[in-house]
Structure 1
């Protein structure tokens, strides 16, 4: 029994979560219990827990993870400013007369919201309340409509920027460094968030393409499932389409372009996204658009000009031209700040700001509590010999490196039925990723395969988060069974996506190799 303490620890964690205990408390409680049992049985040295403080300090001072609350706030503000409604309405009228057009519009809006908000819950709830009733009134099969909304909402986890990719990049970077140390390399390379974002961009768009192809084929084979939608308001004009699509696209380009272009770190780019979301939401809530545009232009000009012609007024040789340029930069900063403050005040008056900040704090606290408690769990798990057991299992798999990767992917897929992506990422991946990298798998390609697998965990019953989100937002005539049945074809499409990336690794590795 003592030699299986590590496996019992993992089983106890699963049981605690399934019993309904809060995740972070279940993780910490299981770790503390088995640390005491392991010490009592003489199979774990309590001195190992002395590294816990260093681990917690490392998480709290990790600059990469600071981007999480900024991206979360960006997404929540955009969601609460009802920009999703404009997108859905415009896209629905644009594609509605095509058979399956509403389904295509839901997928495209899901992709745009994924790249601009990255919040699965917000996207699923918004589309469940807006698009799902429209599809049902048009005559869409309830199962297909539910599956489309759930699946389109999960694109926020694979299309950057997303919290999943940020956490995954941190875990994979540590695993890559650990693998290099074990190979005897002490001048190690790292993996950046930008590389993971670049690697996920093409596969994310490939998934969108797979979904659209499926909708079009199903429209041909089963036309009764998705009839064309009447558009009494008529097709939107170019100006209306641009007004709905251009703002989020500009924000996406600003954030991802800054990261992929090497202009800003992910945290700095997340700050840009948060400020851009505030300005967009302010314009949506009635702030003078001229002020918003002038403020955004001021920030953009200031960023470019300060990079090309930096001013250091503290230097003793600063002349009149430096002071004049500094005054111009200061005026631009004040103009941008004024636009942001006016937008914040309008959001506060409309009762949007407090709710957005509360949601941001709640989501951020949940993520960081899970990451911190997972550090405790993994430390005790390693102390009980779990790390060696995982390495032994992977290395003994038939088929070598390919067999080990298949086993790991199946394990992640199965755990996705019961655990959240954060728990799988910060508990399981630090154990399996270094071994898989040592076996020769490219770390960026491996990260993207795992990311798509983890995205699938939002769709898999019984605990898929997208299913819960839609259950809360769907009309009463939609049953839980219809939601579960509706996501089944899309789970198979996820497997098709994983197989495609596996068969064509360049889809995940080409863009990072070009950009970085």
Structure 2
């Protein structure tokens, strides 16, 4: 029995811990306690299965260092920054301003409020990155308004939970930050990979509302004329946007033309936005009436959050800042926006800091517990068990992706994202890498998948977030004086179903078309295939080298400026460009220095002058056999010339260079 447990400790541990999590035990404590318990069991059983269990007590001594490593992780430092930024913006009234303004902009058309909720949800997702904050804020702000104007309750609730859950996948999502950290990829690459799927998802949501407005117009009525407080003036807004585009074009081509393309784009766009924003403020302050009240309100309300989004995401995408630095700039920018609107007080600041600290501590405790769990799970070869289990799936990488998608979708209905990210993703990432799957693509698939599971009844987290703020009893609308019906849980479930199918379709699109994500990769530069042909020389090599073994009268000196190789040192018609003497040939005469001596002042190499000093020459060296005089310092010019076309005799003890080398 003990041997059976020892050889199957990995699946027993995995099933036990996952079961405790599904029952509802606290995540961080379950992971840490489960890891420690099975660590003790593994050490006790290590003697029974030493090849299967690699656990010993000194391993626990390294755990504090692992904890400090988690706390000093720069990537995870972005979590409190983005959380704080989103909470400040949410509690300073930005969501109310956005919803009111965009609702007035789309109000005259059917489904206008639903479009406004989706757009505002995307903007909140791009500034908060927290699903709970987005869903709760949209529920508190937009649900009473949609009830007031007789929107279908399933449509209203489904639109709110779907738009609020966009914070799962729209950068700078906390989900993407944690996913990038667990997969070991760049957060910037993860943001770049998620940008197109998230925008397509927003477009699909709007397309669903458009189709619904045609099929069931009563479910998504237009805003009554009496409620259109900003009046008309869409043409004025279009004209203002056209002027901004013209300013951007002129600034890019005439003012900032000396900058790099990326800096020129940023500088010209910032100039256009600042000028049009200042113009709208002046138009309001001085009551000029040059642009309509609607255009003025849209510009003043939309530009600050859009500028903040660009400050965060634009700097990350352009490589100007890291995600952590972008989050810090976003937090400061949110504080400045709240101050500019005079909506920042001590109570707002304190509540935002407390909520940020709570969420950050929650993430850190789960991550520490996951590290304890991972230490034990890897020690019992759990990673090998997972790899063998998943690598044997039929269908290769697509079979793996389909199975993982189904499993994560089901678990996402019961477990929070952080639990899945810290437990499952580190186990799945090595298998994905072995199958050749791009890890950024894999991370975006998981992100869209978890977004769908957050909407899935009966345990979808976003559904419960909305349930917590939706009216459970009939309530009286103070503005219209009518009694509004309570929101039932079944209506929230019913409204989420169409958006679940949209998310599933998006998952399949991302799997079928990886380029939607992998466009973040730089296009590799490939050299064109070409053939290099070197023209033949009439006596030299293809590189313009002089002829080997020829006489000294060669007129086809080396293209490299080298003297003849192995020939006589006679009157070569092309002295070496390096000023070198003839190589391997006798000097002209018997003892006089060559007139074409090396421009570097070197003695002849291999000629009649003998070896240079230190290689057998010099005053202390004996004369070569047959020599006519004692070697003089600096060249030893007394040897008899060798026969024409032959190599000089080797010195005593020197290797014979005239013979091919031998390898013993």
TM-score class, shorter-chain normalisation, is 0.7 to 0.9
1:83 deviates by 0.5
Q: Which residue matches 1:282?
A: 339
Counterpart position of 1:27 = 31
Aligned to 1:37: 41
Cα shift readout 1:363-388 (whole Å, capped 9, x = no counterpart): 11111111111111122122222211
* Structure 1: gaps (5+ residues): 174-190, 287-345
Aligned to 1:18: 22
Q: 1:251 to 1:122 in 2, by over 3 A?
A: same
The separation in 2 between residues aligned to 1:470 and 1:260, in whole angstroms, is 33
CA distance in 2, matches of 1:261, 1:418: 38
Give the equivalent residue in structure 2 for 1:394. 390
Of the candidates 218, 222, 230, which is equivalent to residue 224 of structure 1?
218
Decide whether aligned partners of structure 1 residues 38 and 367 sit closer, same or farther in structure 2, where only a CA change above 3 A counts: same
Q: Alignment partner of 1:513: what SS?
A: coil
Asked if the contact 2:91–2:348 (Cα under 8 Å) also holds between the matched residues in 1, the reply is: yes
**Structure 1: how far apart are the matches of 2:158 and 2:17?**
30
Question: Kindly tell me: are residues 454 and 375 of structure 1, through their superposed partners in 2, closer, same or farther at Cα, counting changes over 3 Å?
Answer: same
Report the TM-score, using the length of structure 2 for normalisation.
0.64
Out of 80, 94, 97, the residue aligned to residue 108 of structure 2 is 97
Q: Is the CA contact (8 Å cut-off) linking 1:71 and 1:273 kept in structure 2? A: yes
Residue 189 of structure 2: which of 195, 200, 206 is its match? 195
Distance 2:139 2:173 in 1: 21
Residues 84 and 514 of structure 1: is their aligned pair in 2 closer, same or farther, counting only changes over 3 Å?
farther
d(CA) in 2 for partners of 1:250, 1:231: 32
Whole-angstrom distance in 2 between the partners of 1:231 and 1:376: 61
Residue by residue over 1:471-490, the C-alpha shift from the partner in whole angstroms, topping out at 9 and shown as x without a partner, is: 11111211222212221221
- The counterpart of 2:159, out of the listed 133, 136, 148, is 148
Return the alpha-carbon distance in structure 1 between the equivalents of residues 455 and 40 of structure 2.
37
Offset at 1:514?
6.8
Q: 121-130 or 17-26: which moved more?
A: 17-26
Q: In the TM superposition, what is the alpha-carbon distance from 1:55 to its structure 2 partner? A: 2.5
C-alpha distance after superposition, 1:258-287 (max 9, x if no partner): 11111111111111000000001112226x
Deviations 1:87-123, CA, capped at 9 Å, x for gaps: 1111112112311211111110000111111121111
Aligned equivalent of 1:321: none
Conservation of the 8 A alpha-carbon contact between 1:171 and 1:426: yes
**Kept after mapping to 2: 8 A contact 1:124/1:469:** yes
Q: Deviations over 1:312-363 (max 9, x none)?
A: xxxxxxxxxxxxxxxxxxxxxxxxxxxxxxxxxx521xx2111110001011
Moved more, 49-58 or 395-404: 49-58
Partner of 2:644: none
* Structure 2 equivalent of residue 314 of structure 1: none
Equivalent of 1:213, from 193, 207, 210? 207
User: Following superposition of structure 1 onto structure 2, how do residues 475-486 of structure 1 map, counting pairs within 5 Å?
Assistant: 475-476=471-472, 477-486=486-495
Q: Distance in 2 between matches of 1:37 and 1:380?
A: 10
Shift of 1:49: 3.5
Alignment of 1:438-453 (within 5 A): 438-453=434-449
Equivalent positions of 1:322-401 (< 5 A) are 346-348=344-346, 351-401=347-397
Note the alpha carbon deviations across 1:181-227, whole angstroms, 9 max, x for none.
xxxxxxxxxx3111111111111101101111111112212223222
- Report the counterpart of residue 516 of structure 2 in structure 1: 507
Distance 1:104 1:270 in 2: 28
User: What is the CA-CA distance between 1:500 and the residue it aligns to?
Assistant: 1.3
Which one of the candidate residues 493, 496, 508 is aligned to 2:505? Answer: 496
CA contact (8 A) 2:311 2:330 kept: yes
Q: Distance in 1 between matches of 2:222 and 2:328?
A: 41
Deviation at 1:235, TM superposition (A): 5.6
Q: How far apart, CA to CA, are the structure 2 residues paired with 1:15 and 1:402?
A: 28
- Kindly tell me the number of residue pairs found equivalent between the two proteins: 437
User: Which residue of the partner structure matches residue 642 of structure 2?
Assistant: none
- More divergent stretch after superposition (121-130 vs 269-278): 121-130
Indicate the structure with greater helix content.
Answer: 1
RMSD in angstroms over aligned alpha carbons? 1.8
1:147 and 1:489 mapped to 2: Cα distance?
A: 8
| Correspondences of 1:111-122 after superposition (within 5 Å) | 111-122=122-133
Distance across 1 between alignment mates of 2:229 and 2:123 = 20
Q: Out of 448-457 and 421-430, give the one that drifted further.
A: 448-457
In the other structure, the counterpart of 2:83 is 72
**How far apart, in 2, do the equivalents of 1:35 and 1:514 lie?**
47
Query: Is the alpha carbon distance of 1:504 and 1:235 closer, same or farther for their aligned partners in structure 2, counting shifts above 3 Å?
Result: farther
Partners of 2:91 and 2:510 lie apart in 1 by 34
Residues 231 and 164 (structure 1 numbering): CA distance in 2 closer, same or farther, change over 3 Å? Answer: farther
Quick check: 2:413–2:461 contact (8 Å CA) kept in 1? no
The Cα shift of 1:434 comes to 1.4
Aligned partners of 1:168, 1:371: CA distance in 2, in Å? 12
Following superposition of structure 1 onto structure 2, how do residues 48-67 of structure 1 map, counting pairs within 5 Å? 48-67=59-78
Higher alpha-carbon deviation: 462-471 or 148-157: 462-471
CA distance in 1, matches of 2:381, 2:217: 56
Measure the CA separation in 1 of the matches of 2:522 and 2:209. Answer: 33
The answer on whether the counterparts of 1:418 and 1:462 sit within 8 Å (CA) in structure 2 is: no
Equivalent residue number for residue 248 of structure 1: 305
More displaced, 372-381 or 6-15?
6-15
Among residues 40, 52, 56, which one is paired with 1:46 in the alignment? 56
Bigger-Rg structure (1/2): 2
- Once the two structures are superposed, what CA deviation does each residue of 1:30-59 show, in whole Å capped at 9, x if it has no partner? 222222233333354234444423322221
Which residue pairs with 1:408 in the alignment?
404
CA distance in 1: counterparts of 2:179 and 2:437, whole angstroms: 16
Q: Does 2:98 align with 1:87?
A: yes
Q: Aligned to 2:455, what secondary structure does the other structure show?
A: coil
Work out the CA distance in 2 between the residues paired with 1:235 and 1:403: 55
